[in-house]
Amino acid sequence: MNLKYLERGTKLKIFEEYDMRAVSEEYDAVFKYFETETLFIIFSPEIYENYDKLNADAILNISFMTDFNIYIFTGRAVEKQRTSGMILVEQLAEIVTINRRKYTRDEMRVRVRAYGLSEKKLESTYFDLPDAVPELVDMTYDISVGGVCVISNTLLTCKYDPYYLIDFTLTANDKDAFVLPSKLVRRSNYPRTKIGRYDYGFQFIFDNLPDERGRLSRAILSRKLSLR
């Protein structure tokens, strides 16, 4: 996608990134208009207020979504404008497009903890880690925006089955920590590898957490880029 097709009013998610690691919280912003082909104005009171604290060596990781795709590119803050909340940004890299309907699974080792989750709690819009001991603690075999596969020697049995709360972090940065409701959609004792006896497939449930899907997509892409 060419940046010139970005529409006025498009909501953006922005965070500072240095050496493939997030170094700030995620900011909300709105695209306003173009100055040139690569220079454009955004509106973000949060970034405007913290402008002088921006890391001079960091770049801005910028993303936005449509119904079908997530678009990610990098830029830098050029200067504050006289109008409060307005900032001039320069695009530094081409836009990367992720199809939200094609959940490509990546063989990625991430430690996960699975907790039993009652069905009535699926309507929640926010999830905290329970005080209970996790039903499963192990490494993922692969991960995607749609879910995770865990191959383990642990036999998973829980009164709340098939619903579980999955806790994991993609990087050392807390920004990439996730606590997501899921449904166990595959359970097999014939795993694809010899690293464990049981093969579990968990499907994430984003019905009441629409922003988490996009955040997870961006986190997976950042993790993949950092491993190159």
Domains of the chain: 3-99 (2.30.110.10), 111-226 (2.40.10)
The pLDDT of 194-203, averaged and rounded, is 81
The C-alpha atoms of residue 32 and residue 11 are separated, in whole angstroms, by 10
Q: Which of 37, 27, 33 is nearest to 7 (CA)?
A: 33
Summarised one tens digit per residue, pLDDT across range 133-146 is 999 999 998 888 88
State the DSSP H helix or E strand holding residue 114, giving kind and residue range, or none if neither.
Answer: strand 111-116
Can you say how many angstroms the Cα of residue 96 is from the centroid of all Cα atoms in its chain?
Answer: 15
Strand-pair partners of 116: 164
pTM above 0.95, yes or no: no
Q: Do 74 and 61 touch, CB atoms closer than 8 A?
A: yes
**26 compared with 22, residue with greater pLDDT:** 26
